[in-house]
Structure 1
Amino acid sequence: MKNKIVYYINVQDIKAVTDKELGRDLTEDEFRKVESLIGEKINWYDVILDSLREIVDETEFIPD
């Protein structure tokens, strides 16, 4: 399980949002910029921690 991908966004996901919101394809330059920004905007640590807090009892967490 060490290398299993848990979640990913693919080109079709970006295209679906672009089609719905813009009604057109992105230029190659726009796509590269969006691709870069997506990675910068997702705070993976907080997403994982929030998910853990939903399923694991708070007493199991290591105190700060």
Structure 2
Amino acid sequence: SHIFGDDSSDSAGRGDASAMGKYISEPELARKELKVLCLNCNELREIISKPKENYSKPKPKKSRYFPR
């Protein structure tokens, strides 16, 4: 699996019965290496927000020619 840096099982294809054969014959290996994730777990586990910096709006320049 990609978690352990082993590319061999991923190269065989996903969902292929022969690719899953090693896990069918060795359920302990499957429990150790595989995870069943819901859709939300497949998304980002934590929303990464950018740090808010104090941006101050520049003060508008007063016109010498058109006073308000």
Structures share fold, TM-score greater than 0.5: no
TM-score normalized by structure 2? 0.23
TM-score normalized by structure 1? 0.24
Q: Which has the higher contact order (CA 8 A, sep 6+)?
A: 2
